[in-house]
């Protein structure tokens, strides 16, 4: 037997790869934890040491991509040290870009064997649900999507396992073990723990305020009712355990005083918040379109215009109507502050301001704004971006692609014979297929790709920094894998496929042109027999029998 065919050698390579991957995971956990407070010398030392362990492991086990990333992260951290330990927006952006690359290691089509995907969690999820059979099914579904999950039939079994190993998070039925017993169990579970466990409560029925209040007091961070679906639960767990990709808050500072703006930048950068300063308020709208901030800090008195006038101009644009505006000014007249807030502002901070006050206010406002925006721009059934927002993201991405001279691909997908699914198996089955494809796309595309529900059974995918050949290959791989999923039904199980059209941006293309071309390519895929991917102007051929390398991980 040759060395290449030796299964024990492949297993050993996989084991070494997992060692590297777990160390990469630790770096990401440290990085995400740093976003909760101002950076300190201790935090920096912890991140440097974790990254250097990754570099040692990656070099020892010959993991080329992790070696390259760890080296680049080390250089970026040295730049922070060279800047007297102070962060800047450029350094935060560089580090976050590297962390994003680290978080999606192995998720690109055609990666080598040793570049397996980062495990979502090192600890399991515990499911304590009243319906144990449902809990078992849910655990299997979560494992299919890469989470380690364990369900429990009794309070005793839960206690025994908790004594052996703490989980990454707990999904607790409020009535697990009896009416209201889940709430009591959760309270006891958290007692004595130095760091509270992420906890999600569930109830089959709508609950009253006292029950929800008890859930909050027990440490519940989410409360779900009705039916638990693997896709929605997976997203909640990712948020609870902070495995969802972290993106720093972005703040636009508009102030005619460079000294004041620099001071504000330094305070926010020190907390891992990316900033951009604008000294000329007349350029605000173009800067907003380019930077897309989560929050705006606005001076009250500037030579070109007042802060309240500028706030009105910003609010005239529907796209920025929900972006928080915080006035930061030396104005201490309460009536004038209230007048300013009535003119499009959300808060008023008075100079001089303590760093913690400013950072906490910015973080809280930006977090709520992101949460609200996520609800406004997402489809309620799938959690994907809605039709309007996916086109807006395509427009933004095409602008950046042209400016940076990088490739951009856009795809439209449509579930084949979907009307037949609804007619034969009912709309609940149709919804199940739609949600299944949505989750499938989220699991197999990069975190930097944008996925939307275009309408009905149609989906859209924006793929930055991806050329037509790579986009086509990846979507065709997903198409083949999706066709293997079966849905239990009578008299026989149901299988579904999808067709797709994909295009790459050309020099003069805008978002609407790309959408039209992708729709045309999708039409050709349907006309050619469905269950295939077509590229613009047949630059890439496709058919159901096209073979592509299998990805190493699913």
Segment 7-34 shows an average pLDDT of 71
Which of 393, 408, 447, 372 lies closest to 100 in space, CA to CA? 447
Given a contact cutoff of 8 angstroms between Cβ atoms, the answer to whether 222 and 200 are in contact is: yes
What values do phi and psi take at 146, rounded to 5?
95, 0
Given a contact cutoff of 8 angstroms between Cβ atoms, the answer to whether 251 and 297 are in contact is: yes
- pLDDT digit string, tens, across residues 198-236: 899 999 888 889 999 999 988 898 898 887 776 667 767
Greater confidence, 222 or 245?
222
Q: Look at residue 520 and tell me whether its pLDDT is greater than 50.
A: yes
What secondary structure, in 3-state letters, does 389-425 show?
HHHHHHHHHHHHHHHHCCCEEEEEEEECCHHHHHHHH
DSSP string covering 313-329, please? Answer: HHHTSGGGTTS-EEEEE
Q: What is the pLDDT of residue 545?
A: 38
Q: Which of 10-24, 79-93, 513-527 has the highest mean pLDDT?
A: 513-527
Q: Which tokens belong to 546?
A: 């096209």
Greater confidence, 48 or 12?
48
In angstroms, rounded to a whole number, what is the distance separating the alpha carbons of residues 69 and 102?
7
In angstroms, rounded to a whole number, what is the distance separating the alpha carbons of residues 201 and 388?
33
Q: Look at residue 239 and tell me whether its pLDDT is greater than 80.
A: no
- pTM for the predicted model, two decimal places: 0.64
When the pLDDT of each residue in the chain is averaged and rounded to a whole number, the result is 83
Q: Look at residue 358 and tell me whether its pLDDT is greater than 90.
A: yes
Q: Look at residue 357 and tell me whether its pLDDT is greater than 50.
A: yes
DSSP string covering 15-84, please? Answer: HHHHHHHHHHHHHHHHHHHHTTS---HHHHHHHHHHHHHHHHHHHHTT-HHHHHHHHHHHHHHHHHHHTT
107-111, 176-180, 436-440: segment of lowest average pLDDT? 107-111
Segment 171-181 shows an average pLDDT of 92
141-150, 262-271, 376-385, 519-528: segment of lowest average pLDDT? 141-150
Q: Look at residue 4 and tell me whether its pLDDT is greater than 70.
A: no
- pLDDT digit string, tens, across residues 366-395: 988 888 887 788 887 888 899 999 998 999
Given a contact cutoff of 8 angstroms between Cβ atoms, the answer to whether 267 and 256 are in contact is: no
pLDDT band per the 50, 70, 90 thresholds, residue 335: confident
Q: Look at residue 108 and tell me whether its pLDDT is greater than 50.
A: no
Q: Look at residue 109 and tell me whether its pLDDT is greater than 70.
A: no
Q: Look at residue 518 and tell me whether its pLDDT is greater than 50.
A: yes
Q: What is the pLDDT of residue 105?
A: 67
CA 186 from centre of chain: 28
What values do phi and psi take at 414, rounded to 5?
-145, 130
Q: Which tokens belong to 211?
A: 């029950």
Segment 30-40 shows an average pLDDT of 73
Q: What is the pLDDT of residue 244?
A: 44
Q: Look at residue 165 and tell me whether its pLDDT is greater than 90.
A: no
In angstroms, rounded to a whole number, what is the distance separating the alpha carbons of residues 404 and 296?
25
Q: What is the pLDDT of residue 400?
A: 86
Segment 480-491 shows an average pLDDT of 82
Greater confidence, 107 or 285?
285
Q: Look at residue 114 and tell me whether its pLDDT is greater than 50.
A: no
Q: Is 348 exposed, middle or buried (0-12, 13-18, 19+ CB in 10 A)?
A: buried
Q: What is the pLDDT of residue 492?
A: 79
DSSP 168: S
**Does residue 200 sit in helix, strand or coil?**
strand
- pLDDT digit string, tens, across residues 248-302: 899 999 999 999 999 999 999 988 899 999 999 999 998 998 888 999 999 988 8
Q: What is the pLDDT of residue 254?
A: 95
Task: Name 336's bridge partners.
Answer: none
Q: Look at residue 521 and tell me whether its pLDDT is greater than 60.
A: yes
What values do phi and psi take at 305, rounded to 5?
-165, 165
Q: What is the pLDDT of residue 9?
A: 55
Residues 6+ apart with CB under 8 A from 364: none
Residues 6+ apart with CB under 8 A from 445: 107, 451, 461, 463, 474, 478
Q: What is the pLDDT of residue 148?
A: 81
Q: What residue spans of 224-277 are helical by DSSP H? A: 230-240, 258-269
Given a contact cutoff of 8 angstroms between Cβ atoms, the answer to whether 506 and 410 are in contact is: no
- pLDDT digit string, tens, across residues 428-484: 888 888 988 988 898 788 878 999 999 999 999 999 999 999 999 999 999 998 888
In angstroms, rounded to a whole number, what is the distance separating the alpha carbons of residues 296 and 89?
15
What values do phi and psi take at 350, rounded to 5?
-105, 130
In angstroms, rounded to a whole number, what is the distance separating the alpha carbons of residues 409 and 398?
9
In angstroms, rounded to a whole number, what is the distance separating the alpha carbons of residues 310 and 340?
11
- Of the chain, the percentage scoring pLDDT greater than 90 comes to 38
Q: Look at residue 12 and tell me whether its pLDDT is greater than 80.
A: no
- pLDDT digit string, tens, across residues 38-63: 777 787 888 899 999 999 988 888 88
């Amino acid at each position: 037997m040759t060395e290449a065919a030796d299964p024990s050698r492949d297993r050993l390579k996989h084991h070494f790869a997992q060692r590297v991957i777990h160390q990469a995971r630790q770096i990401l956990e440290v990085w995400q934890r740093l976003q909760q407070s101002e950076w300190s010398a201790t935090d920096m030392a912890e991140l440097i040491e974790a990254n250097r362990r990754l570099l040692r492991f990656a070099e020892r086990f010959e993991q080329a991509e992790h070696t390259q990333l760890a080296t680049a992260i080390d250089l970026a951290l040295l730049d922070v040290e060279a800047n007297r330990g102070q962060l800047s927006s450029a350094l935060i952006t560089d580090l976050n870009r590297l962390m994003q690359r680290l978080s999606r290691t192995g998720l690109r089509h055609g990666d080598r064997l040793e570049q397996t995907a980062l495990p979502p969690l090192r600890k399991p999820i515990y499911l304590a649900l009243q319906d144990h059979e449902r809990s078992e099914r849910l655990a299997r579904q979560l494992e299919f999507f890469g989470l380690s999950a364990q369900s429990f039939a009794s309070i005793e079994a839960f206690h025994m396992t908790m004594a052996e190993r703490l989980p990454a998070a707990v999904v607790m039925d409020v009535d697990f073990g009896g009416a209201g017993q889940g709430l009591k169990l959760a309270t006891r579970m958290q007692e004595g723990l130095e760091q509270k466990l992420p906890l999600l409560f569930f109830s089959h029925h709508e609950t009253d305020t006292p029950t929800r209040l008890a859930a909050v007091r027990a440490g519940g961070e989410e409360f779900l009712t009705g039916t638990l679906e693997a896709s929605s639960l997976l997203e909640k767990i990712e948020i609870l355990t902070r495995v969802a990709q972290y993106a720093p808050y972005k703040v636009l500072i508009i102030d005619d005083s460079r000294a004041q703006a620099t001071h504000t930048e330094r305070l926010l950068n020190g907390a891992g918040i990316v900033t951009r300063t604008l000294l000329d308020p007349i350029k605000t709208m173009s800067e907003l379109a380019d930077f897309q901030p989560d929050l705006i800090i606005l001076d009250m008195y500037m030579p070109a215009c007042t802060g309240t006038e500028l706030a009105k101009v910003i609010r005239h644009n529907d796209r920025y109507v929900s972006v928080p505006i915080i006035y930061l000014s030396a104005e201490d007249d309460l009536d004038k502050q209230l007048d300013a807030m009535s003119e499009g502002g959300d808060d008023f901070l008075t100079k001089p301001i303590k760093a913690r006050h400013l950072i906490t206010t910015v973080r809280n406002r930006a977090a709520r704004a992101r949460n609200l925006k996520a609800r406004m721009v997402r489809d309620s059934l799938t959690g994907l971006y809605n039709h309007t927002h996916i086109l807006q993201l395509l427009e933004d991405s095409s602008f950046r692609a042209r400016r940076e001279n990088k490739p951009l691909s856009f795809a439209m997908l449509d579930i084949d014979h979907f009307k037949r699914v609804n007619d034969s198996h009912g709309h609940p089955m149709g919804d199940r297929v739609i949600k299944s494809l949505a989750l499938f796309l989220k699991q197999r595309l990069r975190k930097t790709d944008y996925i939307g529900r275009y309408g009905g059974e149609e989906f859209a995918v924006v793929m930055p920094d991806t050329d037509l050949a790579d986009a086509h290959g990846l979507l065709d791989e997903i198409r083949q894998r999706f066709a293997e999923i079966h849905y239990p039904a009578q008299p026989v199980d149901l299988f579904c496929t999808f067709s797709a059209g994909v295009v790459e941006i050309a020099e003069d293309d805008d978002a609407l042109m790309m959408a039209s071309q992708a729709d045309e390519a999708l039409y050709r895929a349907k006309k050619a027999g469905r269950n295939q991917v077509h590229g613009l102007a047949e630059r890439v051929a496709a058919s159901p029998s096209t073979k592509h390398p299998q990805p190493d991980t699913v």
